[in-house]
Amino acid sequence: MPDAIRHLTLSHVVLPLDNPVSDAKVLTGRQKPLSETVLLFVEVLTEDGHRGMGFSYSKRAGGPAQFTHLREIAEVAIGQDPSDIAKIYESLMWAGASVGRSGVATQAVAALDVALWDLKARRADLPLAKLLGAHRDSCRVYNTSGGFLQAGVEEIKEKATASLEAGIGAIKIKVGQPDWRTDLDRVAALKDHLGDVPLMVDANQQWDRARARRMCRELEQHDLVWIEEPLDAWDAVGHADLSRTFDTPIAAGEMLTSVGEHMALIDAGYRGIVQPDAPRIGGITPFLRFATLAAHAGLALAPHFAMEIHLHLAAAYPTEPWVEHFEWLAPLFEEKPEIRDGRMWVPDRPGLGFTLTQRMRDLTKETASIGRP
């Protein structure tokens, strides 16, 4: 008899940041400073006693909606064979079809999808990257958390130096301020401080097409690894145009919440770096679907946030990727990723290689128990 999903535990977790951070969306008045990350955790138990853990997340809004949506539809997974991940994914999407196939709907399902992949790799006694078919045992890693706009240049320099001393290989800072000259001054100062260390910048969607072209032209001199989200995230044509115009690569895709939205970039002739986010695109199952298409199109990969998941997915990508380092989720996991020599190393533990802490339990605001304990 095949195994079957017996029980699901859903947890709504609110993780406060030690210090609120601001990107360009805050300085342009479109959003408030980010003070917490809200997560949806799913723990799976099967009839044969196998377990898996996965998560999704939201920033500023959407966390309660993710929890509520998955609690409403997750019953359809009970009794299904946990090996049939794609089939389960489709059944969940059909169960919630009235709210669509992107946004909160996919982000809610993502947590369960990730948990099933974690379970499958744990049952095989393999790290997830090895189960998928790894191309490498480590990935280039860059830090973002020290480069937000509420911090002055000297503070960013100090944090960048600390990141490099911790073994991280590259630094990303935020741009997109109302005064574009301030952006250029900050980039020049960090480039001078870092020397040959790779540097990326992220405008968080705050330029229009005219300003983006001017800024990309000004930034060419700094030999950046990439310029991220210079335009609205859904402006596939604009991002494609920039990617074909400038030598500095254009990075985009972190905000997109379906394979179709990501494919709009490729269909528009995009030649940049794609940044799919597994919890946002709907989980590992749709992430892998898009990654295959992106690799076929010859695009580089740099998944957004959630390094605990994306380390494995990046390690399985054909060409050399980047992984984004954020320490924000560290209180939720017993283990820490190994970082040295500018790279993050795939753990040799089965599955994702991470287990939940008591701190995660303490931060849980609500749980839902589905199926038979």
Choose, from 69, 174, 262, 312, the residue flagged as catalytic.
174
Indicate if 296 belongs to the active site.
no
Element (H, E) at 185: helix 180-194
Q: Collect all residues with Cβ–Cβ distance below 8 Å to 278 and sequence separation of at least 6.
A: 110, 114, 284, 287, 303, 306, 309, 310, 313
CA distances to 47, 168, 340 from 337, in Å: 31, 12, 10
Asked if 282 and 258 count as a contact pair (C-beta separation under 8 A), the reply is: yes
Asked if 77 and 103 count as a contact pair (C-beta separation under 8 A), the reply is: no
Asked if 291 and 276 count as a contact pair (C-beta separation under 8 A), the reply is: yes
Residue carrying the six token digits 């500018």: 342
Distance of alpha carbon 342 from alpha carbon 192, whole angstroms: 19
Sign of CA dihedral 360, 362, 364, 366: positive
CA distances to 33, 45, 63, 171, 179 from 27, in Å: 9, 45, 23, 21, 10
Choose, from 130, 304, 310, 312, the residue flagged as catalytic.
304
Residue carrying the six token digits 């690894």: 225
Indicate if 32 belongs to the active site.
no
Q: From 185, 275, 165, select the one nearest 173 (Cα to Cα).
A: 185
Catalytic residues: 174, 304
